[in-house]
Structure 1
Amino acid sequence: MTALLCLLAVVLCDSSEKDELRKVEDDDDGSPVKRHEGDDASRNTRHVFPLSRVDGPTFARGLAYQNPTPSFSGITSFNQHFNRPVVFPPHSPSAHLTSYSPFSATPTILPTSPLQHANSGVSNFLGSNGGYSSRGQATIRQLHPVTTLHNVAPVVGHNRLDFPEAEKTEHHQGVGSSCRGHTTCSPLVSCAACFSELDPYDKCELEDGHFGVCCPPSPSPNAPNRRVFAVPNIFVKTPDISLYQLNEAAKAGLWEVAERDKLEQVLRTQDIVVSNPKSPEYRHLQFFKTSPRAMKFGRAAITVERSTVFLMKKFYLTSLQAGYGLRRFSVRDTILSDTCPEEPYCGEKEEYYRTIDGSCNNIRNPRWGQAKTALNRILPAHYEDGVFEPRGGISGRQLPSARVVSISNVADVDMPDPELTLSVMQMGQFIDHDLTSVPIFRFGNESGIQCCNDGAFVDPSMTHPACFPVEIPTDDPFFSRFGRRCMNFVRSMPTQNENCTFGSAQQMNQITHFLDGSNVYASSVEDERSIRAGRGGLLNVQGPALLPADPSASENSCDALNRGFDCFLAGDNRVNEQPDLAVIHTIFMREHNRLALQLAKINPQWDDETLYQEARRINVAQMQHIIYNEWLPIILGKDCMVNNLMLPRPDGFSRDYDPNVNAAIRNEFAAAAFRFGHTLVQGMFQLFGKNHQPTEKVQLHEHFNSPHLLYTPGKLDEFLRGLAKQPIQKFDNFVTEDLTNRLFQGMNNPFGMDLVALNIQRGRDHGIPPYNALREACGLPRARSFEDLLDVMPGPVVQRLSGVYDSVDDIDLFIAGIAERPVPGAVLGPTFKCIVADQFMRLRRGDRFFYEHGGLPNSFTEAQLREIKQTSWARIMCDNGDHIKAVQPLAMRLPGKLNMKVPCDSASIPKLDLTPWISVPY
């Protein structure tokens, strides 16, 4: 009955009230201000050249960026919040779990088994990406005085911190409110997942007089699911191969790699390398940094791959026998044994703090999730030869050009989302850069491999084996104007598989596989050292509070230098790709330093290492909570989150950790499904000033690799307001031209690259199975014809797909995934939703350090966990902008009647209280 009343109330919210809400907005201090006519940030402003096979006019995706300017008065302004005396309250005991939920190896998240399909049909086509002035509002909640201290002395050190017990307190309960039934008056962020079900008229009053909402009890799953896709394991009979024959194959592999070295030397001598710093190809390479250690692992993996191909030819093996049958033969037994990575050492410190490279997260399998290990798979790889050749068509013919698929199915049409802000897109990219970074092949001197010469194909005799260029048609609606027939594309680098065996290639993830803030803190000891200040637990800053300058950047790799400004250095080298990405990096760097300074105030006995590790723990926990509480329910929908047990608990610990679950990133997720965010991108970013009026528009393609605007005082805040005010584009098969024609275009260049084509090509490169295989694995009926796709795709889209693909079994996963209609209540369609849900289930259940897990040496106390669950994206923005004074509580949703902008010091945007982290010295 309550749900019915909520639904009726939502329906009764008529359009006239919504129109009035659009006319009146709040100033930065929360006071109303009239918005000028014509300032609608979602309105289309320009006409774009219509792309082939798209009927009718097409329009550019979105408006321009705007550039707010931060003011800098010194990092010491942090200390303004720490001058009040610290009160030592009693602390609550942490709950201890004595059992873990059993993990079933049953293979699928949805009804059917991926393994079953791998053995029956899918295998038939085995064959293939500021500084600070005042920080605004107080960042510590007023501490409640206590009369006594418990006589508890904690152990303080690098390996373990024990905190005294504290009494339980209730946060932000409504006063003078009248919530009906089992609902409770809470800040909106406490029931973010239920946003669409809340009654906009059923508000209540929080402790400071600001509004809360009558939040329903935590929803229960209709059919709880704890299963994730099983690792594909195909058992095929292979002939017995002796150690002598394995070593013979290993020698053949070493010889082929040596021959490749000779070819590379010739190519470098003849300057057949990517050398023009103004070209999109050169700029694209800067986005794919490959570390020397990754190149070493990649060289070992390609040696094993060539050895596998030798065995396949010598013993006349099928693609299945070569790809999976040969996995029973270990490389450790051969002359290549020294290429197998060593097991990491896991000591006492690793029980309590994350390692920087992700090792030792799983005590039984310490390499699970470690940087530079292989991506895992949902379904078996679909390589053309079963080992490493990119995926081909089911009939044996070549697949259509990835550029042809792109221009035939993707246009630039402005379709702003009526509910969601640009924060959704930007948080998605930030998360992606925390989870995946697949390196590509390079020359030994780290220069780029050239597959196209001034838009034409390189002579085959001078083509590097890692080349897999995209063919551009002669009648291309954009690139034909510039005589381009070839788009540079270099294949991803493999690494040894988990057990270091022969068999099909697996691509490398260069960073940690966990949601662990590696984009802030790095994935190697060397990179971490370069971003740490070495004092007070702080991260390095430039000036008052911008990210530090990258000393390795040159004018060739950093357009900002051509404008007189440095590029930034962060835990992930892609930080400078576009301004909003640099903004969110800056915000979470500042949050770390804010936490470290507060912890130093309340625990003056802590040294640099302890302050750093504790601030890192809290910062990462906040990221995880924001993702699972605010971002994922938008992407996957509340029902998916509830039924797959992914929503944060309203209180207390979870019992979800399962050491049998490998959190490693799935290839289908990295190379296709999690690239869905490219459809959400605005071609122009709108910036907003202190009065929330538009100030500037920033064209995306003019700012790749150039974050120079953030050096202008006030601009960082203007970008932040844009993230909370400008809508994203809808999830669909429309993508801004800034990505499809002008990716990494750069200064004084008339064209760039096509990200959609690159995504399609990357999927083929990685041996990603076709859409139909993943669709079936995710519980949809297998499509026997193009018409069968109409159950999840619009008719015109299906018609265009049938015009470029020979068979429904040829369709690439990415292009079909973005064409599916969204599931009700979610952003994604059913297939991408299934793949993304499986991955985030793994990232929760397979991460020993996930913030909600209890009963472990690294677990937070109950009081600490309760505080972490107060956090929100709005709170992070408020605490770390320069002069952000007001924002809506759910900053990933556009402001509205239920989600009105409030001052940053309002109880509607709860604050993290660090009192539970006080450690009483002996």
Structure 2
Amino acid sequence: SEKKYFIVCPSDVLRLLKQPAGPTRTAVRAADYMDVAVKLIKRSLNRRPKRSINATDLISEEDLEVIADLTGCSPRHRVPSCTTTPNLNKFRTASSTCNNRENTRWGSSNIPFTRWLPAEYEDGTSLPKGWTPNLSVNRHLLPLVREVSNRILRTANSDVESDPLYTHLVTIFGQWTDHDLTFTPHSPVIRSFNNGVDCDKSCERTEPCFPIEVLTFRDYLLHIVGPDFIARQLSTYPGYDENVDPSISNVFATAAYRFAHLMVQPFMFRLDEKYKENSKFPSPLLHKAFFAPWRIVFEGGVDPILRGLVGRQAKLNTQDQMMTDELRDRLFKFSAELALDLGALNMQRGRDHGLPGYNQWRKFCGLSQPRNLAQLARVMNNTDLAKNLLDLYGTPDNIDVWLGGVAEPFVRGGRVGPLFACLIATQFQKIRQGDRLWWENEGVFTEAQRESLRETSLARIMCDNTGITEVPDRPFQYRPRGSGYTQCEDIPTFDLSPWREGDYDTKTGIFTCEHPGVYEFQFHCTINKNDASVDLLRNGELIVHSFTTRQNGYITASGNTYVKLQKGDKVWLMANHGSNGLTKDSFFSGHLLFTE
């Protein structure tokens, strides 16, 4: 018989990369075992005379500990030790454990979402509301989420209205901070010795060297929640409060911060150097861009896409044009057999997570709770929309919180309604106030370092990390090319001088070790014209000879090594054979891996 060969495609690699890491799989598996154990206990109790009592009320603390041990949940409840981890007052741990010294798991990875309101499940444990056919909720049957999507969210690509104020970068930045809340740039610009920054005290900790929250709080959130909520909850930094839990809430992750799904345009815009439609590689429909990284490799790279983000407008979420059919009817159609509906997924996910209904969350935020058509129409400022919602749900109490939130009219100066403005502002308020190593907290950075961080800009970051040479001064705010666009060479660079410790001499090019330990060094030199090589020396002795290649008239000489240094050891690069034409993208960098 013939052998079948399966070729790995880019989407397969992406799926592999998206698989949860080992500790995450262990935590999820343990939670599933615990859930099954509780269900078995509950089923046993149901055979007895019915009483209003929780299954766990009949189990001793010792038995609960045994169940936790058997299911694997015990490690998730044990308090991690913070006594053996060095430098906790200066550095974050990778998992953010021990950020709060009293509640050591607050805000860390692999913990459950926190709940600001009790969960609501059909069976009181894990079964989503509306799961059982003909079982009413608040005396009404919950509608199918696909039916809600069809009647409320449907928007043809041709009907999309563009936002007059904000660029498509607002949309993608929201998704980025949502998916990678703790990710920070790690580039030669920050880690390089060329600016005289101490490799031990700065380059090793590029995360605190450039906290992304500077841009998020200063430049981004204002456009989302509006100036009133900024003034009320996110203005002057009040300082660290050890009693504030910065953990991500379920309603934030599952509903409120998914507002930007309604700001997604139906195209992946690609623009040329003049910010016009790329004639060679036109903008594809969005569903043809999902899981298609080959478009970046073979169709012009990432720069045209970034220009499309800052040079084109976001979609405007209006009550009669909510979610483009690219997301609602064709999500992942290009790479999967069955297309998905993102709006329906959002609503079903909220039910799966046991989120209470729309009115419960409005009450949480101190907002009115509409009870009838007239009151809901007043909240939505739209009688037709209110009638459609009640035709589907029967009562405002049953409206899925994500749908109710995105349907509200915008707050002043924002792009969400009052409910989501409240929930988003509350979450970021907790993130800031409950973070012991927040960049503005006294002792984390010096005043000079904080001032340098305040002066950084997203425009400068785009210039430093792409081949784009002209960008808008304010990349989140839309304007046609011309006024408001600036050449990269005219945008101030990030000032690293407040971090300079003097271990690297910019005049001699010599790094002098002040902190004994094992270091990693890297260099990559691009050389014009001359045949050449580069050597890395320690105290005058060769430790690495460069690997050289020739391409398009240039010589590239690169190398990487790990080396143990003692205090006073000197490391430098030596060019050979007349290599005197280094280009500006050459760099020499290094950092301390661990001390002796």
Normalised TM-score (structure 2): 0.73
Higher strand share: 2
Distance in 1 of aligned mates of 2:250 and 2:437: 23
Q: Is the 8 Å Cα contact of residues 140 and 394 (structure 2) preserved in structure 1? A: no
What is residue 291 of structure 2 aligned with on the other side? 705
| 1:287, distance to aligned residue in structure 2 (A) | 8.6
Residue 362 of structure 1 aligns with an amino acid whose one-letter code is N
Matching residue within 399, 408, 414 for 2:151: 408
Q: Closer, same or farther in 2 for the Cα pair 1:276/1:916, shift >3 Å?
A: closer
Matching residue within 458, 469, 477 for 1:893: 477
Distance in 1 of aligned mates of 2:368 and 2:177: 31
Matching residue within 173, 180, 185 for 1:427: 173
Q: Is the 8 Å Cα contact of residues 330 and 340 (structure 2) preserved in structure 1? A: yes
What is residue 557 of structure 2 aligned with on the other side? none
String of CA shifts for 1:818-862, please: whole Å, max 9, x gaps: 11001111111011111111111011111112211113xxx0111
- SS of the counterpart of 2:270? strand
String of CA shifts for 1:237-269, please: whole Å, max 9, x gaps: xxxxxxxxxxxxxxxxxxxxxxxxxxxxxxxxx
Unmatched runs of 5 consecutive residues or more in structure 1? 1-274, 436-515, 521-587
What is residue 625 of structure 1 aligned with on the other side? 214
- SS of the counterpart of 2:88? helix
What is residue 471 of structure 1 aligned with on the other side? none
Q: Closer, same or farther in 2 for the Cα pair 1:754/1:846, shift >3 Å?
A: same
Matching residue within 308, 325, 337 for 2:69: 337
What is residue 741 of structure 1 aligned with on the other side? 329
Q: Closer, same or farther in 2 for the Cα pair 1:611/1:866, shift >3 Å?
A: closer
* 1:658 matched to 2:241: yes
Over aligned residue pairs, what C-alpha RMSD do you find?
3.1
Residue 109 of structure 2 aligns with an amino acid whose one-letter code is A
| 1:402, distance to aligned residue in structure 2 (A) | 0.9
Residue 657 of structure 1 aligns with an amino acid whose one-letter code is Y
What is residue 271 of structure 1 aligned with on the other side? none
- SS of the counterpart of 1:420? strand
Distance in 2 of aligned mates of 1:687 and 1:363: 47
Q: Is the 8 Å Cα contact of residues 350 and 401 (structure 2) preserved in structure 1? A: yes
What is residue 418 of structure 1 aligned with on the other side? 164
Matching residue within 169, 190, 196 for 1:602: 196
Matching residue within 345, 352, 355 for 1:768: 355
| 1:314, distance to aligned residue in structure 2 (A) | 4.8
What is residue 74 of structure 1 aligned with on the other side? none
Q: Is the 8 Å Cα contact of residues 394 and 809 (structure 1) preserved in structure 2? A: no
Distance in 2 of aligned mates of 1:807 and 1:639: 30
What is residue 406 of structure 2 aligned with on the other side? 818
| 1:335, distance to aligned residue in structure 2 (A) | 4.5
Residue 886 of structure 1 aligns with an amino acid whose one-letter code is E
| 1:601, distance to aligned residue in structure 2 (A) | 4.3
| 1:897, distance to aligned residue in structure 2 (A) | 11
Q: Is the 8 Å Cα contact of residues 41 and 55 (structure 2) preserved in structure 1? A: no
Matching residue within 299, 303, 307 for 1:721: 307
String of CA shifts for 1:764-819, please: whole Å, max 9, x gaps: 10000011111122122222123321122122211211222233221111111111
Matching residue within 366, 370, 377 for 1:790: 377
What is residue 379 of structure 1 aligned with on the other side? 117
Q: Is the 8 Å Cα contact of residues 655 and 854 (structure 1) preserved in structure 2? A: no
Trace 1:904-915 onto structure 2 (pairs within 5 A).
904-906=488-490, 909-915=491-497
| 1:888, distance to aligned residue in structure 2 (A) | 2.0
String of CA shifts for 1:870-901, please: whole Å, max 9, x gaps: 1121111122111x222221110012799711
Trace 1:156-171 onto structure 2 (pairs within 5 A).
none
- SS of the counterpart of 1:336? helix
| 1:433, distance to aligned residue in structure 2 (A) | 0.6
Distance in 2 of aligned mates of 1:743 and 1:826: 27
Q: Closer, same or farther in 2 for the Cα pair 1:292/1:614, shift >3 Å?
A: closer
Q: Closer, same or farther in 2 for the Cα pair 1:288/1:395, shift >3 Å?
A: farther
Distance in 2 of aligned mates of 1:323 and 1:684: 51
Q: Closer, same or farther in 2 for the Cα pair 1:640/1:897, shift >3 Å?
A: farther
* 1:919 matched to 2:512: no
String of CA shifts for 1:322-368, please: whole Å, max 9, x gaps: 39978995776324336211433322322211111121111111111
Q: Is the 8 Å Cα contact of residues 129 and 137 (structure 2) preserved in structure 1? A: no
Matching residue within 902, 909, 912 for 2:486: 902
What is residue 572 of structure 2 aligned with on the other side? none
Matching residue within 804, 827, 851 for 2:415: 827
Distance in 1 of aligned mates of 2:486 and 2:58: 62
- SS of the counterpart of 1:831? helix
Q: Is the 8 Å Cα contact of residues 319 and 387 (structure 1) preserved in structure 2? A: no
| 1:692, distance to aligned residue in structure 2 (A) | 2.0
Distance in 2 of aligned mates of 1:701 and 1:886: 29
Distance in 1 of aligned mates of 2:314 and 2:336: 28
Distance in 2 of aligned mates of 1:373 and 1:287: 21
What is residue 298 of structure 1 aligned with on the other side? 28
Normalised TM-score (structure 1): 0.48
Distance in 2 of aligned mates of 1:669 and 1:304: 25
Q: Is the 8 Å Cα contact of residues 240 and 435 (structure 2) preserved in structure 1? A: yes
| 1:405, distance to aligned residue in structure 2 (A) | 1.0
Trace 1:36-115 onto structure 2 (pairs within 5 A).
none
Trace 1:81-230 onto structure 2 (pairs within 5 A).
none
Matching residue within 839, 850, 861 for 2:427: 839
- SS of the counterpart of 2:31? helix
String of CA shifts for 1:102-130, please: whole Å, max 9, x gaps: xxxxxxxxxxxxxxxxxxxxxxxxxxxxx
Q: Percent identity at matched positions?
A: 31
* 1:848 matched to 2:436: yes
Q: Is the 8 Å Cα contact of residues 817 and 829 (structure 1) preserved in structure 2? A: yes
What is residue 454 of structure 2 aligned with on the other side? 869
Distance in 2 of aligned mates of 1:834 and 1:602: 44
Q: Is the 8 Å Cα contact of residues 421 and 727 (structure 1) preserved in structure 2? A: yes
| 1:311, distance to aligned residue in structure 2 (A) | 4.2
What is residue 463 of structure 2 aligned with on the other side? 878
Q: Is the 8 Å Cα contact of residues 322 and 387 (structure 1) preserved in structure 2? A: no
Q: Is the 8 Å Cα contact of residues 637 and 826 (structure 1) preserved in structure 2? A: yes
Which structure has more relative contact order (CA 8 Å, sep 6+)? It is 1
Q: Closer, same or farther in 2 for the Cα pair 1:370/1:328, shift >3 Å?
A: farther
Residue 457 of structure 2 aligns with an amino acid whose one-letter code is S
- SS of the counterpart of 1:678? helix
| 1:732, distance to aligned residue in structure 2 (A) | 3.6
Q: Closer, same or farther in 2 for the Cα pair 1:864/1:684, shift >3 Å?
A: same
Q: Closer, same or farther in 2 for the Cα pair 1:287/1:762, shift >3 Å?
A: farther
Q: Closer, same or farther in 2 for the Cα pair 1:300/1:897, shift >3 Å?
A: closer
Q: Is the 8 Å Cα contact of residues 390 and 767 (structure 1) preserved in structure 2? A: yes
| 1:613, distance to aligned residue in structure 2 (A) | 2.8
Residue 769 of structure 1 aligns with an amino acid whose one-letter code is P
Residue 685 of structure 1 aligns with an amino acid whose one-letter code is M
Distance in 2 of aligned mates of 1:336 and 1:869: 47
String of CA shifts for 1:183-230, please: whole Å, max 9, x gaps: xxxxxxxxxxxxxxxxxxxxxxxxxxxxxxxxxxxxxxxxxxxxxxxx
- SS of the counterpart of 2:28? helix
